[in-house]
Amino acid sequence: MERTVALAGNPNVGKSTLFNRLTGLRQHTGNWTGKTVSTAMGRCGDYRLVDLPGTYSLLPHSEEERVARDYLLQGEEEVVAVVCDACCLERNLNLVLQCRELCQRVLVCVNLLDEAERRGIRVDCTALSRGLGLPVVGVTAREKGSRERLLAALDALWEAPAPSRRSPPYGQGLETALQHMLPLTEGERLPARWLCLRLLAGEKLPASAKLQHAADTERAALGLTASEVEDLLSAALSREAARLAALSVTGEERAYGRRDARLDRVFTGKLWAFPVMLLLLLGICYLSIRGANLPSEWLSMGFERLEGLLRRGFAAFSAPPWLEGLLLDGAYQSLAAVISVMLPPMAIFFPLFTLLEDAGFLPRVAYNLDRPFQRCHACGKQSLCMLMGLGCNAVGVTGCRIIDTKRERLLAILTNAITPCNGRFPLLIALLAMFFASGRSAILPAALLTLVLAGSVLLTFAATALLSKTILRGEASPFVLELPPYRKPQVGRVLLRSLLDRTLFVLGRAAAVAAPAGALLWCLGRWQISGESLLLRLAALLDAPGRFFGLDGAILLAFLLGLPANETVLPILLLLYRASGGLGDAAGLGEIHALLLQHGWTGLTALCAVIFTVLHWPCSTTLLTVKKETGSWKWTALSALVPTVMGLALCAAVRALRF
Amino acid sequence: MTLEKLRPGQAGTVLALRLEGALRRRLRDLGLMEGTRLRCLGRSPLGDPSAYLICGAAIALRREDSRLIEVEVEPWNEP
């Protein structure tokens, strides 16, 4: 039978780093429950490791806790390794004690021992092991032997006869109640003692009616409410944790140290917080755009060269022209456009983002921006989803899982598309450079882009506020955020993993979405109705409504046809204006500018185009992701409607004002 | 007095948690319960939330929630 080890632990204890270290690149993200929390799985030696979501306890108050607990409840034969932060052991022991009560084979892994040393904290793993009655392994980041010792401890634990589950003393009243209830647990699937305690605390669990009734009776006999029982249980765990910490930890426990406080004076201080965040945002955008320029060009050239070879191949095989058109002019060129536009910026943006996350900076962003989100009845973590949306809206929508409550998560999902993703940057920059930034200066378009981004942030607030007063009405839910200590990010491995993940994502999307869409577009382009191309007829049809919104038919059609991938909007527009040629026909900004002016573009048109680029329906990948995350077509439709309605309204207003 | 009135740098001991439900559970999991000693680390740039040092970790709480936690202020002298 396969040996599975579940990795549990508080958030921010370096659990995922340890997981990465143990599994190397042999891991993948799983969705084993089909719920909206993902778990990473990987292999280490003979063991299959499952990285459970970080939780502070196993009480079912959030999605992550429920997932972690359900996982632990269903695996009888498995080992649970609880990862603890040596700097903060007492609080971490809360989870250890709960695991010890629930599972048969528990291993404690005390992580970040070197960090603790530096703060003058020493953990005596032997004493802790004695006190807990569980094996304890100490781990440090740099020491090579850690992995071996951990595996050895796992082997020993697996081979040993299963120790029974243990609880701390709960006091006379509760123990008596348990004595009365335990005989009634015959045939229950869940661990007996644990089940009784949870029922006494008022939790709804699958148990026989007899047992449930007994729980109510006992609770009444004690004269306590369910909440009071819960308090007693957590107080008992807390006392036990304090006792164990006292006998194994020397030095004052402190995860958040002086250096963190000093850094936070800058990153969350009144004076510097916003400038620093703005600067970092600018930095990431600048690096993504600038760094992507050359690789994008190389990819473009590479694809062109390959295209030439393919065409010769087609000719050599005397392939019918329609096949060549469908596959090359259609599918291939669309694929090439998407990859060369999207891959380089995403390959830069997300690794940078992950570095910031590893370093511990992102919770500070949520902390700084919580107040305006509070006003919108949302949550500060939404700012992080917006930041991810800057790279790719589909990733942003998935990232909304970090928000605890359903209502606030929906708010974040529905408004994520208002943040323009990397795929829309080239279009935005081109429009801004051509119509609003005269001269060869590179600074002005960048500054204007920042303005547009700032605008999208304000629009997100507006949309969130509006939604929370209408469709998604409700109270703001509890907000508790831990500001973890700043840690040096593990540059090498983080970058490699991020790069691989992003590359695969873009390639997958290009193959699955962009290529078929391109082929379809080519077909539509060839379709003639009484002498005129279908596409041009559609553009003419959309012209009147388009002009009402300060745009024109071709622009609207380009956005509509760009549903599969925003990167193709500009190429499609050029194709429509030229009324011939393929998507991949290259053109410099000067030529494009001339072409647009030729078709009646003014500064107003460009402004409305910029607005509509920011505020229109999300791309098909994002829509599918919304469906997957929310499980409902209704919310998916709304996620398309919200930005579109806003965009059309704003465009109409702008056009009206200029008159 | 309530936690929200604790000024940056001031320390106090928790007397009571007047909140219920998920937030109460979460705070207790983090070690915030009757008798816990904590210290206000500072306020976020827009004034809310504020960060508190609880059991060696920095936890951010909103004013509307810290208003429901009763504390006893300590005469402060922490470096």
CB contact under 8 A, B28 and A238: yes
pLDDT for the residue numbered A364: 92
> How close, in Å, is residue A140 to chain B by CA atoms?
20
CB contact under 8 A, A480 and B59: yes
Q: Rounded to the nearest 5 degrees, what angle is found at the Cα of A198, between the Cα atoms of A195 and A204?
A: 95
Q: Of the candidates B24, B28, B60, which has its C-beta nearest A367's C-beta?
A: B60
CB contact under 8 A, A56 and B26: yes
- List the 470-489 stretch of A: residues with Cβ below 8 A of B: 476-484
In chain A, residues with a C-beta closer than 8 Å to the C-beta of B61 are 479-480
CB contact under 8 A, B48 and A371: yes
Token representation of residue A397: 């929508």
B-chain residue closest to A60, CA distance: B22
Token representation of residue A382: 């939404």
CB contact under 8 A, B56 and A256: yes
- List the 576-615 stretch of A: residues with Cβ below 8 A of B: none
Sole residue written with tokens 């669309």: A334
> How close, in Å, is residue A164 to chain B by CA atoms?
25
> How close, in Å, is residue A275 to chain B by CA atoms?
11
pLDDT for the residue numbered A37: 58
CB contact under 8 A, B44 and A268: yes
CB contact under 8 A, B62 and A370: yes
Alpha carbon A656 to chain centroid, angstroms: 39
Q: Cα–Cα distance between A361 and A355 in angstroms, integer?
A: 9
Q: What is the pLDDT of residues A445-475, one digit of tens each?
A: 777 888 899 899 999 999 999 999 898 887 7
Average pLDDT of chain B to the nearest whole number = 88
> How close, in Å, is residue A493 to chain B by CA atoms?
27
Q: Indicate the range of A6-10, A438-442, A566-570 predicted with least confidence.
A: A438-442
- The answer to whether A292 and A344 are in contact (CB under 8 A) is yes
The stretch A487-491 carries a mean pLDDT of 79
DSSP A87: G
Q: What is the pLDDT of residues A118-170, one digit of tens each?
A: 888 999 999 999 999 899 999 886 677 888 888 888 888 888 877 778 888 88
Residues 6+ apart with CB under 8 A from A289: A345, A425, A429, A446
Beta strand A122-123 pairing with A249-250: antiparallel
- Give the residue numbers in B contacting A (CB under 8 Å), as ranges: 20-31, 33, 41-42, 44-49, 51, 53, 55-62, 64-65
Token representation of residue A295: 């690789």
pTM above 0.95, yes or no: no
CB contact under 8 A, A59 and B25: yes
**Is the model more confident about A27 or about B18?**
B18
Tell me: pLDDT of B16 over 80. Answer: yes
Residue A35: CB atoms within 10 Å = 14
Alpha carbon B58 to chain centroid, angstroms: 10
pLDDT for the residue numbered A556: 93
Q: Cα–Cα distance between A153 and A145 in angstroms, integer?
A: 12
DSSP B2: B
- The answer to whether A535 and A525 are in contact (CB under 8 A) is yes
Amino acid found at A189: R
CB contact under 8 A, A374 and B61: no
DSSP B72: E
pLDDT for the residue numbered A640: 95
